[in-house]
Chain A
Amino acid sequence: MTSQERPEQVDQFELPTITHLVHLHHDALYRYAFRLTGSAPDAEDLLQQTFLSAHRNLEQLRNVSHAKAWLYTILRNAYLKQLRHRDRYHVELAEELDVPQQEPQQSWFDEERLQSAVRCLPEANRVVVMMFYFEELSYREIADQLGIALGTVMSRLSRGKALLRRELAEPPGSAPNRGPSTKQGSQS
């Protein structure tokens, strides 16, 4: 069951509980965590940290309608904090990451190649790409949240997209590549 199908919804003006937040958003957050970490156990650990932090700072959530974005931000910050710890050793983790235990799915793309491409992205690029696709933030919003220049966001995203584009073979008859059309400030 996806979060969209869940019958239990929180009223916008009601204060949510961490139970509600877990119930509604754990699957989306897990997917984000998995794409960032590339590992199912690491993703679950990251999710635990995320919800624990959310539970302890629930009073910071001003509006229930922003809960998902708020949780995404917590997750991303927790991940970046982990990265800073690892970066002390300057180890490129791509080769060390576990191969995720994924159930086989019928897709128009090769999931293994996709995940491999994601793992091959430098960490900085990967975070930008995931913020763009999962959090659906504009270039400007990404730059503001990460405290980097807009041009840096554009170049990192461009490189990340190029790699994904190679792995996600265009299905026959599909439209040519285009930039995001709905997001303000986004360019391709």
Chain B
Amino acid sequence: MNDSFDDRARQALFDSVHVPHGLEERLLAFLANQSDPANPSDQLHPSIRRERPHRQNRRRLVVASLVGLACVASVIGLVRFMLHQPMDQSAVVAELREVDAKLGPWKQMSEFTEQEQYPVPQPLRSHVHVSQWQAVTSGKLGAGVVFQVQGRGVAARLFAFNSAARRVVLVDSVPQQPNESNASGQTVSMGVWEAGDRVYGLAVDGGTAEYNRLVWIGVAAR
């Protein structure tokens, strides 16, 4: 027996009330009658439990958000992984060939104000003439500049990109042997290298002979 008045009073007030027989069934019948038959969520008995629609929706939204975040994270991770993969010589050559094929209108050198940032590298500086320029953008190398150059009767384009934009694994001077291509009916020999904080590419109109004439003959003579 409880030893306090409150406990005994609580017990007396609670236990002494007789709960009529069939109360639960009558309540359920009443609720079933009150349910809106046109509203399935208002039904009393279908599957015995009424999930909250907005909570279900919230749960679905959370799951969908998590899946979406996971996908975005995966894509970002993949892109970052690919960006951190260093580009080797063949990849840089392929990229510059694409850029070379899509060049726009040239501008006069008088309009170029960043000569100090983009000097013509050695050994070309001494004997090539830079006539025009234009800004270029590469998906893999970032923003850069291309110059139209000439020397020893050979025309070429000299590309320059910031090497900090992308890891590259290249030789540190003009390569001896160019990568020759004849994809569009015109032979273009391409050499790529890294010097200082720049990635350079030299696209020479012609084969290896023209490339060597532009780059090396004068140098060798010295």
Contact = CB atoms under 8 A, between A and B. Distances in A.
Interface of A: 14-20, 22-23, 26-28, 30-31, 34-35, 40, 44, 47-48, 51-52, 55-56, 58-59, 102-103, 105, 107, 109, 111, 114, 118, 130, 133-134, 136, 161, 164-165, 168, 170-171, 174-175, 177-181, 188
B15 to A, nearest CB: 8
Nearest to A107: B16
Contact of B45 (A19, A107, A175): A19
**Which 7 pairs across A and B sit closest by C-beta, in order of nearness?**
A31-B17, A175-B3, A17-B49, A177-B5, A27-B19, A133-B10, A180-B6
Given A18-B50, A19-B48, A114-B16, A133 B9 contact: yes
A35 B17 CA distance: 8
Contact of A109 (B3, B12, B24, B34): B12
Contacts of B34: 52, 55
A22 B4 contact: no
A44 B13 contact: no
A6 to B, nearest CB: 10
Contact of A22 (B27, B42, B51): B27
Contacts, number: 124
A164 B192 CA distance: 101
11 contacts: A18-B50, A22-B31, A26-B19, A26-B27, A30-B23, A44-B20, A55-B35, A56-B42, A58-B50, A165-B5, A168-B9
Contacts of B49: 14-17, 19-20
B75 interface: no
